[in-house]
Amino acid sequence: MTSPRPPDRPARTGQAPGPATTPGAGIGARTRPLPKGLHRTFEIGMVLKGLDGVLEVAGGILLLVVSPQAIAHLVHALTAHELSEDPHDLIARYLLHTTGHLTTSSTLFGAIYLLSHGAAKVVLVGLVLRDKLWAYPWMIALLLAFIGYQLYRITAVRFSVGLTALTVFDIALVWLTWREYQTKRASPPLARDTAGPAPRSAR
């Protein structure tokens, strides 16, 4: 004869339930939001990168519609006064040297390069500023590609202070974009998990 089964022990009243684990809790605990100043810096950097893309698109269109001879003539007219005062002006002489060797194929390549890179910047910056989460990794990849090309130009072709400053700016923007991406990726799950269902009204 089997002994009767002891009744289940009732739960203690007032006992707090154990901590519930949420899928996004680990990510949120490790990722802190950017401080307000850094977040504003990230937004300003994105806007500047977008304006840079707009200028590249405008330059690409200009190369498509203006012939190399017209570009060389325009640069010669713009630098004539500067060279009359300082015949050794580096910027003016560099512009004259560059435009003097332009060909139809080189201007076409430059137009395609500027249009493609400028359009990619404008589109990705717009998507990132609209908080499209999937656009953040693409923006980081594009910036890393620019950084790699710029480092090649600095180390293997010719050192440039301006290009070095642009590279430092892009590296900082990559870090800010990555931090912002981590924060955005962690925030929505935490918001959904902590909200909980709405309480039912007692009848």
Considering the domain boundaries, does residue 74 fall inside one? Answer: yes
The per-residue pLDDT for range 110-128, each reduced to its tens digit, is 889 889 999 999 999 999 9
Instruction: For residue 134, tell me if it sits in a domain.
Output: yes
Q: Report yes or no: 46 and 121 within 8 Å, Cβ to Cβ.
A: no
Task: Tell me whether residue 154 is in a domain.
Answer: yes
Angle at 25 (CA atoms; ends 23, 29), nearest 5 degrees: 150
- d(C-alpha 145, C-alpha 68), whole Å: 29
pLDDT at 149 over 50: yes
Confidence of residue 86 (pLDDT cuts 50, 70, 90): confident
Residue 67: inside a domain: yes
Q: How confident is the model at residue 76 (pLDDT cuts 50, 70, 90)?
A: confident
Is residue 195 one of the residues assigned to a domain? Answer: no
Least reliable range by pLDDT among 42-46, 68-72, 143-147: 68-72
Q: pLDDT higher for 142 or 199?
A: 142
pTM, rounded to two decimals:
0.65
Total structural domains within the chain:
1
Whether 138 and 124 have beta carbons less than 8 Å apart is answered as: yes
28 is a domain residue: no
Look up the domain containing 178 and give its range: 36-186
**pLDDT above 90 covers what percent of the chain?**
36
- The per-residue DSSP string of 148-179 comes to HHHHHIIIII---HHHHHHHHHHHHHHHHHHH
